[in-house]
Amino acid sequence: MAVAERMVVEKKSATDAVGIELQCFTDLLEEKMLLGLERQIGLAGELLFLERLLERGGGGVIDSWIGPAGEPHDFRIGSNEFEVKTTVRPHRVHTIHGIEQLAPSQGCTLSLISVMLGPAGASDGFSLSEKVEQLSAKLSAAGAGLMQFTKALKAAGFHAEDASQYTRRFARRRPLAIIPVDGTFPSITRPMIQASLGSLAARVEAIQYEVNLEGLEHEDGSQRFENSILA
């Protein structure tokens, strides 16, 4: 109908009308969706951890941000992997998506990085766009990683031309914290499900649960935190 309308109303040839409509359809499919609030919060948490790594390791640590490339965990430094979880609750309660999210890659150890955000209120706080701008400036000054950072942001769904849309302001409730994902971590694992359900375990395809990590964390500023992110 659209092709016919262009031919009748706009006097386009059949070839031109088809070409115009195909381009319109292509443009429609390529329209970018803005990040939802949950994803904005998650990305803000990842950027805060990246900022912390940059403070300690310089521009080269941009290579450690592998989550946007489709890897199962957000960061990897050597054989140490880090899964960043961000909450806007007043306690360190985080949502775990899937049985494999807390499973380290072969030959690696995994830690969860807990980020706690809240509304900025009357404080200055920061917006997602401002944090992107700050990190871009730091990477540009270091002369390393800015292009890679921009590429990772796009893969994560953040496009520079949409920066004005991300103005919601956040404040940190508490310092970043690290929790090793080991035998003391309250996780639901595939072996646990296998032991409980036996042959029926294979029928469990998806799972989501929340964990309260209060008292298990090592906050930024502690020697354990420093040693863990630099190991």
Q: Can you give the pLDDT of all 231 residues of the chain as single tens digits?
A: 776 766 776 677 888 767 877 776 554 444 558 999 999 999 999 999 999 999 887 667 899 999 999 999 999 999 999 999 999 999 999 999 998 899 999 999 999 999 999 999 888 899 999 999 999 998 988 676 899 999 999 999 999 999 999 999 999 999 999 999 999 999 998 899 999 999 999 999 889 999 999 999 999 999 999 998 876
If asked whether residues 204 and 102 sit together in one domain, one would say: yes
Is 79:162 a contact under the CB 8 Å cutoff? no
Domain boundaries, position 26: 1-31
If asked whether residues 111 and 184 sit together in one domain, one would say: yes
Q: Domain count of the chain?
A: 2
What does the alpha-carbon distance between residue 212 and residue 82 come to, in Å, rounded to a whole number? 18
List 179's β-bridge partners, or say none.
Answer: 112
If asked whether residues 42 and 26 sit together in one domain, one would say: no
